[in-house]
Every structure is written in C-alpha cells, then in structure tokens.
Chain A
Amino acid sequence: MARRKKALGKPGKDLKDQPVPEGQHLLEVDGLKMYFHTLDGVVKAVDGVSYTLDRGETLGVVGESGSGKSVTQLTIMGLVDMPPGKIEGGDVRYHGQSLLNMSEQQMQHIRGNDIAMIFQDPMTSLNPVYTIGRQLGEGLRLHRGYTKEQALKRSIELLDMVGIPNAEQRVKDYPHEFSGGMRQRVMIAMALACDPDILIADEPTTALDVTIQAQIIELMQEMQQKNGNAIIMITHDLGVVADVADKILVMYAGCPVEFGTADEIFYESMHPYTWGLIRSIPDPVVDQKRPLTPIQGNPPSLVNVPKGCSFSPRCPYATDLCRQEKPEMYTAPTGHYARCHYASDPLFVQKNAPANSRTHKKGGEA
C-alpha cells in the first residue's frame, strides 16, 4: 500500500468542530443553480434550489428520477465534473463559509470529514479488491493521520457500531463477502468514520429489500441520536421520509417546488405536485378495489423545459397563466414555501388539497 500523505487537516481546525456563526444555519443552500452544457443543449439540472439545515435535523429531499435531487447534493459536495457542469448562480454556505468558493484541496478536506455522503447501490459502491477494513480506515488515515493500527482498531469499533456481528473477523473480509444490507451498513460506518456533522444519503434504501430498508433507516436514526449529525435523505419514496424527516424539500425538474416541515408538507401542503405525490401513496387498507392515482404524464426533458411552470403539462389545475409564466415562490410566514401561482390562494388550496390535509378541515387557513 502506498505511503499515506500527511492528514489534510488537523482535528480542531475542522469546520465541523467550530460553532455555527450567529444567525447562520449549519448548511444553507441559497438559490443554487448548476447547469450542464452538453452537446444536446443546456441541461438545467439544478435551477434555483434553496433550503436550510441545522444541527441534528433531518431533511428529506423528495422527487422523481431526473428531478435534480441527487445532482443538487453532488454539486454541494463538489463531485460534479465542472466541464460540462457549471455553477450559474447562488451559493452554498456551510458554517457560514461558502463551499463554492473553496479550493479543491479544501473541499477534499471537507468531503468525508465534515460532510459525508453515501450512495444508492451498496453492491457497487465498494471497491472489490480491497478489504472492508482498509476502506473503512482510508478516511481516518487521510483526514486524521491515523496509523494503520489505529485505523484498524477504529474500523472494528465502527463495524460494531453499525451492528455487524463478529466485527474483528469481518474487518478483513472483502466486499463481495457481505450481503447488500450489510454493505450498506458498512457504507454508513465509512461515512460516519470521521464524525461528520452532515450525512447525505442518496437513496440509501432503494436497492435493498423492504425489510432491510427499515433496519437501515433505523440505524441511521440511531447514529443520529448518538452523534448528533444532520441527515439529508434523498429519496423518491415519500413513505421513507414520513417517519424520519424534520423538513422536506420537494423537487421537480431541477427546481424546488415546495419546502417545509414534515408536518407542513404532509398535512398542509400547497403545491399540486406534492398533492399528487401524497395521493399516489397506495392506501394500505384495501376493503374495496380502487384504482391507484398516479400523476399523469412524464417528467420533462431538462433540455427543453416547458415554458411557464415546469409542472403545468401534468398539473390537473393548470391554467393559461401557469403555462405562460413561471410561478414565483410563495413563502408563508413559517418559511414554508411553494412555487405555484395559486399557492397563496387559500381557497384554491382548501378545495384541491388531498383528503388528509388539514387545510380541508381548517377550512381555509393555509
């Protein structure tokens, strides 16, 4: 194995160890725009995303494939190839510091150390020719300058922490000797190795069996309790975020369409797309046959975004205004926002919100 470089930073100087400046959030994304300049045209992958995240919170980012939910977080991490990608505007502030202005070296120190990310497919996310122990220890040796022995010891602790039995033996095994669920646990361990204060999980359970899904989510929550880190959970499955998220960001076609607390999103949502998502959750109680209610149509191509509101082709309530003009953001006093021409109209919301929405019952209070 090659000699390890000196650790990039020293503990104590890490951003994550510093207190969040007054009035700032742990992580603040402010109108982030990132477009891809491809041969087929400009792809507006991230088109004005804004949200905030504080210590210990869980943010759920929900959207269909192609909505830009993953690309946004990858942009924050600086993992998007900058040609063809390009930041077109906005900012990302972590502990008050702009991540977009940081050098690659600085970002390398932040990745894995201050902000960690795990990905969708545990089967392919681990290098098949290195042992789990070596991969777990890599971050520790890189960011904290651990020696091989120290890293090994800590790796065993980590495996134990995520519930892998017989950790001392298994640390010497290769990834293909672990099952899918186990690998995802290892991924979580790897991500938490350096005690980051934000964990970004990109569809961590999509590739797993339903029973394992629950275990993984539980594990993440347990870790959050223990370590106090914030979680950004990216998923297309509203059911996954229902239990765990404090805040939810709904994305469509590269734009955020609604953002609010979980409570607000589920029971007081203001955007037709969110309603469509809520309605499309199958009812577990089935005493009579009922057709499922999906959202009609397909997501638009990000190269040819529809004129006007990007959701208008599929929105059952779309009007000419919707088709002509892009809606502004309507922000309620609580910070709950929705990007719809009619979100500010309580009657509209009350009339069309899903059956379980409180707006129905409250009769007009949005």
Chain B
Amino acid sequence: MGKYILKRVLQFIPVFLGVTLILFIMENVVPGDPIKLMAGEKKLDPQTEINLRASFHLIETDTDGNPIYDENGNTIETPLVQRYFLYLNGLLHGDLGVSYQRSGQSVSSIIAAKYPYTVRLAIVAIIIEAIVGIGAGILSAVKRGSFWDILVTLITSLLVSMPAFWLGMLLQLFFGIQMKRWTGGAWYLPISGVGSKYSEFQPWMYYILPALTLAAISTAYTARIMRSQLLEVMNQDYIRTARAKGLSRRATIYHHALKNALIPVVTYIGMDFGAMLSGAILTETVFNWPGIGYETYRAIQSRDWPIVLGSVTVIVLVVMVINLVVDVSYAFLDPRIRFGAPKDQG
C-alpha cells in the first residue's frame, strides 16, 4: 500500500505545477494593465507608477527593491518565466499578493477572513449529504421497485435537473416568505446573511437554508450512486454464499453488501467535500453568505484580480489536497489495495 500512496503523491506534483502554471498564465492574459486598473480614474505620477510596478514584481529590481534602469533610463520588464517562479515562491510562503481595490489589504488576510464561513457551511452540508444520501440510497435499493424507490428516484431526478441557485430561491420563497405569511410571522427561516448575537434569529438557524441548498443536489447524486452500487453488489456471488450460510436478507445487506458498496460512495462524498470547499459561488450569492465564493464573485465584478487569482489558487490547492487524501483513504478502505496479491499457488 505504501507504493500506492507514493504513486498518488508523485502524481500530485506534476498536476500541482500544471495547475499553478495555468493560473499564472490566466493572470497574465487578463486584459488591461494591472497598475492602470488599480489606479482607476486617477492619474498616477510616473515615479509612483514605477514604484508600484516594482512592488508587484512587474519590473526588474535589485536586492533592495529599487528599480533597475537600463541604458536608456527605462525600466526592464521582468521576464514571464521569472515572474512565474516568483509567484510559485510567494505561494509556498503564503503570499498571494495585495488587493488592487482595497488598498493595502493582503489577499491572504481577506481570504483568511472569509474562508471559515465557507468551511463551516460545507461541513454542515456534507453531514446532511452523507446521512440523507446514503440513507435514501439504501432505502431505494433494498426496497427496489417499491413506492419508496420510485419516490427517491423521482426526487433525485428532479434535484439533479434543477439549477442550484434556483433551488435556493425556492427554499427562500417557501420557508422564508410564504411560511412567514401563512404563520403570520410566527415561524419562518432566515434567508440572507449569517447571523450574529444581534440578529433576529439564532446564528445556527442561518445555516439551515444555505446548507440545504448546497447539499441538495449532491445528496441526490449520493443517493443515486449508493443505490446503484448496492444493487450491483447485491448481485455478487458472495452475497449468495452468505445466504447459503443461513443469513437473513437483512443481515446479508447490512453486513456484507453495504461494506462493499459504501467504498465508492464514501470516495464520492470525500471529493464532494472538496467541491463544496471550492466556494459554492452560487449558493453564497443567493443567500448573501460571506464566504470565499461570494468574495470571489465580488472581486470579479470589481476587477480585483489579485483576489480572484488568490482565492482560485487557494481553492484549487485545497481541492487537490482533499482529492489526494480521499484517494489515499481509498487504499485503507479496500483491503484488496491494502494487501497485495495471492501468497500462494494452487
């Protein structure tokens, strides 16, 4: 198994480099000169501009950070390759640059402030997804063809066919607005923002609708995967063996089939966690949830590229690490990978 882990980690490296390269290229393909974008309407005097360029490593500097001039008195643009390495270097040290629009604030600090919200929402959502998804999947597989199975299949088909943000709005409409009307303001859920000591509701109540929205579609997929995996496993020979030993249907499903069927499902949920951590831009926008997705979106609107690139970088790295962890944990779950080939012949 050590070999398996090593292989996976080794594969991680070229992908990491490739991803950072693409991110870097994207940053530099962005139309418009970053300094001018930052300045906006203001006209910068040349020296300030040069200093700014130097601080962003857009022009060559000496060890003190002073710009270097060539024989004509012009600044020299840092070659792209060098800037890539500077960028990588910065990455490894946690330096993602400085925001264009919010003067002085480092991108890292902005991200550090917002990411926790996303993470918390993702945790709640993933718990919902695991419990409901696996449960529904088992139910519909075990009672295949019955009313429950049809119900679950119907609901999951609907859920995977609707836009997530629209689902969020539906929940807002129903639980926030309509419920309020029907119960005369007595019982309804908050639909916007995240709560604090001063808000109308308990803070945890603010999680409900956004987490449901975030989880809903993934839960549908989980249920489908669980169902199909369980059905496939239930057709396997070793299930027949278990029955021949005298186990009841129930026991064979829960002790034999489930353990096998869960492996891919758990893997999927793990990867999904990574996906949720990638900011859930849509959910956060609908519910005004101050997480990294919302932040990135606002940054795009205001053309604040360092934030955009910074947050994308962080997100991508987080996702990659989670996928790696999930991959490796697969080795633990499946004994066939954990231990190798037959120890004998005959």
Residues of A within 8 A of B (CB): 1-2, 5, 8, 77, 79, 104, 108-113, 116-119, 121, 124-130, 138-139, 142-143, 173-174, 176-179, 181-182, 187, 190, 211-212, 215
Minimum distance in angstroms from B262 CB to a CB of chain A: 10
Instruction: Contact check, B260 vs A110: say whether CB atoms are below 8 A apart.
Output: no
- With most chain B CB atoms within 10 A of its CB, the pick from A8, A77, A117, A127 is A127
The number of residues on chain B lying at the interface, defined by a beta carbon within 8 Å of a beta carbon of chain A, is 30
15 inter-chain pairs at a CB distance below 8 angstroms, sorted by A residue, are: A108-B247, A112-B247, A124-B237, A126-B238, A127-B238, A127-B241, A127-B242, A127-B256, A128-B238, A129-B260, A130-B256, A174-B336, A182-B342, A182-B344, A215-B346
- Interfacial chain A residues near B335, Cβ < 8 Å: 128-129, 174, 176
- Interfacial chain A residues near B237, Cβ < 8 Å: 119, 121, 124-125
Minimum distance in angstroms from A138 CB to a CB of chain B: 6
- Interfacial chain A residues near B247, Cβ < 8 Å: 108, 112, 138, 142
Q: Verify if B198 is at the interface (C-beta below 8 Å from A).
A: no
Instruction: Contact check, B256 vs A119: say whether CB atoms are below 8 A apart.
Output: no
Sort A-B residue pairs by CB-CB distance and give the 3 closest, nearest first: A112-B246, A112-B245, A111-B246
A299-B214 Cα distance, complex, nearest whole Å: 57
Instruction: Contact check, A173 vs B243: say whether CB atoms are below 8 A apart.
Output: no
Instruction: Contact check, A176 vs B241: say whether CB atoms are below 8 A apart.
Output: no
- With most chain A CB atoms within 10 A of its CB, the pick from B236, B334, B342 is B342
A176-B341 Cα distance, complex, nearest whole Å: 7
A174-B334 Cα distance, complex, nearest whole Å: 11
Instruction: Contact check, B238 vs A125: say whether CB atoms are below 8 A apart.
Output: yes
- Interfacial chain A residues near B30, Cβ < 8 Å: none
- Interfacial chain B residues near A138, Cβ < 8 Å: 242, 245, 247
A362-B346 Cα distance, complex, nearest whole Å: 45
- Interfacial chain A residues near B256, Cβ < 8 Å: 127, 130
- Interfacial chain A residues near B241, Cβ < 8 Å: 119, 125-127, 187, 190
A5-B345 Cα distance, complex, nearest whole Å: 37
- Decide yes or no: A111 and B243 within 8 Å by CB, A178-B342, A181-B346, A212-B346 being known contacts: yes
A66-B217 Cα distance, complex, nearest whole Å: 45
A108-B260 Cα distance, complex, nearest whole Å: 23
Q: Verify if B248 is at the interface (C-beta below 8 Å from A).
A: yes
Q: Verify if B343 is at the interface (C-beta below 8 Å from A).
A: yes
Minimum distance in angstroms from A167 CB to a CB of chain B: 13
Q: Verify if B255 is at the interface (C-beta below 8 Å from A).
A: yes
Minimum distance in angstroms from A84 CB to a CB of chain B: 12
B319-346 residues with Cβ-Cβ distance < 8 A to A are: 334-336, 339-346
Given known contacts A119-B237, A138-B242, what 18 new A-B pairs fall within 8 Å (CB)?
A: A5-B251, A79-B243, A104-B248, A108-B247, A124-B236, A127-B256, A127-B259, A128-B334, A130-B256, A176-B342, A178-B343, A179-B342, A179-B345, A179-B346, A181-B346, A187-B241, A212-B346, A215-B346
Closest to A127 in B: B238
Minimum distance in angstroms from B334 CB to a CB of chain A: 7
